[in-house]
Structure 1
Amino acid sequence: MRILLVSGESSVARIARSLKSANDVSACICGVRSATNRSLQNSLDRIGVACWHSDSLTSDSLPRRMYEAEIDILISFRCPKILPESVLNAPKIGAFNLHTGPLPEYAGLNAPSWAIFNGEDYHGCTLHWMDPGIDTGNIVSASRIPISDSETGISLTGKCVEAGVNLIAELVSLIRRGEAIPTTPQDPSSRVYYSKAVPNSGVVDWSWDSAKIERFVRASYFHPFTSPWGTPAACVNGRIFGILSGRAIQVISGEPGTIAWRGENYLDIATGKGIMRILEVVTDGQPSTVEELGI
């Protein structure tokens, strides 16, 4: 089976490796963000996966190239571009998207971070047919993923990738057995679309309760990689800094945004309900200590 993976994420190498190692997959081709993504390029070279660069993903030549390569299925994973219908129609069997969120409730961008911020107990990963809309195609399969109390944006995204690998493997096995691919319509009345926007424009609101602020910080945490939400910005006593990590403490607090206690390695800030204990910070774009804040 010949598969074209289209993605803007380095983690797609994990999906490619899984597919390549499967006995029923004869070839895997990966379309990546750019020719300068050397780390991903090297990973694909090591597992023998050909690489097409994304400057051609929306060109008129891509469908022809797919026909010539006899692509059976296209699988999109966090693709940085909207693929035209001509590309979606080019595979022999169909085009599918691996979405890191449950559909239709978490369509759009950064679904794992939004799920953490929203205080969900469970998240999910969805494999669906691709159509001209964004995350609107009929569902093939889905997984359910519990969200831990310490979940971060990067950890939940990793769990979605792991679950997604299994969904894709199941799809490939289904095709090889000659069975019909599920096509369950989404309920449009349940659809929620998340754009590039970040909660409160990326700024901590001290009037929020401390649990919500902690979720915001954890949802934004993608270290050592760049967070799609950036580092939550905060201001205390006129000092602006970013919060890398902290935890909520449910005790009686004072005026939101004021210092409740200075510890040796932490700073307690009063919120709308409870205390936010700040443990790691960023100042002037660099990791710093709470002591170095000077407040």
Structure 2
Amino acid sequence: MRLAFMGTPDFAVPALHALHAAGHEIAVVYSQPPRPAGRGQAVRAQPVHRAAEVLGIPVRTPTRLRADHAEHAFFRDLRLDAAVVAAYGLILPKAMLRAPRLGCLNIHASLLPRWRGAAPIQSAILAGDAESGVTIMQMDEGLDTGAMLLSDRIALTAETTATSLHDGLAAMGARLIVAALDDSGDDPGIVAVPQPAEGATYAARLTREDGRIDWTRDAAAIDRQVRALTPWPGAFTTLDGTVLKIGATAPAERRAGIAPGCAQDDRLTIACGTGALRILRLQRPGRAMMDAEAFLRGQAITAGTRLGS
């Protein structure tokens, strides 16, 4: 099929490679514009942009699409069979949604209608969901409201992190989109199923403040926060006014008489509202993430030390 691929972050790269390897003609790739990144803030092309250049596919990087009628015309004139969208980050206007013969298919990292929106991977972990997955969706003008074509699921455990779930769902999405396009045509075997009205939830865009740890919460909820928000935006607390990113924790026994947010011992075991957590990995400002043992060699934490405001 003759396709356009529209994606920006690492999540979308496996799907681009899978479609290319399957022999589809990818006429163009759309990605968000290059932006400053890294400690030096050098301007850098987005992951999908870089992957497309390696594959020799032309790349377009408009900053907006809604009122860009020249871009709408360019897209229409490509005479596409379909467009594949994966975490692109820009809303497609009606003119572009309707341009391809088979419309636009979205690779969404959740089991729709649960976790429509910007941060489905993190939201599933934060909520303590038992499973997550990928849905291939026929796009419409709503926010992730289109009919569902294919889906698959993956179990979430107490060890699941945003990174591990991201990588698993990216690979799953690549497999599913190839299957969906292989079965598209005049008499496809895949049936588009409208999303049910009930059960819809929304995954709002994350901010840095979402990472602030409230030690009065349940230990299991804080652990999910750490696993969901590492590496970005990062779960964090403070120690004597210094921000510490928390990279990994483990459940521990709660000692009586210790206030939430206080260390129970000299091994970074922190009392929570219910239960306790031992901090396993953490990061000082301007430093790399390190094991708790290495941190404690440079800064002793004694019982009673308070974290957080």
| C-alpha distance in structure 2 between counterparts of 1:21 and 1:64, whole Å | 28
- Report the equivalent of 1:257: 261
| C-alpha distance in structure 1 between counterparts of 2:127 and 2:295, whole Å | 27
| C-alpha distance in structure 2 between counterparts of 1:285 and 1:171, whole Å | 45
- Report the equivalent of 2:163: 154
- Report the equivalent of 1:10: 10
| 1:249 Cα offset (Å) | 1.7
Matched, 1:103 2:112: yes
- SS of the residue corresponding to residue 149 of structure 2 reads strand
| C-alpha distance in structure 2 between counterparts of 1:40 and 1:132, whole Å | 24
Q: Return the letter of the residue paired with 1:290.
A: F
User: Normalising by structure 2, what TM-score?
Assistant: 0.84
Q: Return the letter of the residue paired with 2:262.
A: T
- SS of the residue corresponding to residue 20 of structure 1 reads helix
Matches within 5 A, 1:228-267: 230-236=233-239, 239-253=242-256, 254-263=258-267, 267=268
- SS of the residue corresponding to residue 162 of structure 1 reads helix
User: Normalising by structure 1, what TM-score?
Assistant: 0.88
- Report the equivalent of 1:30: 29
Q: Return the letter of the residue paired with 1:280.
A: R
| C-alpha distance in structure 2 between counterparts of 1:133 and 1:116, whole Å | 25
Matched, 1:112 2:121: yes
| C-alpha distance in structure 1 between counterparts of 2:119 and 2:299, whole Å | 30
Of all paired residues, the percent bearing the same amino acid is 23
Matched, 1:187 2:196: yes
Structure 1 unmatched runs, 5+: none
Change (3 A) 1:27 1:6: closer
- Report the equivalent of 2:281: 280
Matches within 5 A, 1:205-224: 205-222=214-231
Deviation readout 1:66-105 (Å, 9 max, x if unpaired): 2322211111111211111111011111112111111111
- Report the equivalent of 2:60: 52
| 1:197 Cα offset (Å) | 4.3
Q: Return the letter of the residue paired with 2:275.
A: G
- SS of the residue corresponding to residue 63 of structure 2 reads helix
- SS of the residue corresponding to residue 286 of structure 1 reads coil
| C-alpha distance in structure 1 between counterparts of 2:180 and 2:56, whole Å | 22
- Report the equivalent of 2:41: none
| 1:243 Cα offset (Å) | 0.9
| C-alpha distance in structure 2 between counterparts of 1:22 and 1:165, whole Å | 11
Structure 2 unmatched runs, 5+: 35-43, 302-309
Q: Return the letter of the residue paired with 1:6.
A: M
Q: Return the letter of the residue paired with 1:100.
A: A
Aligned length: 285
- Report the equivalent of 1:172: 181
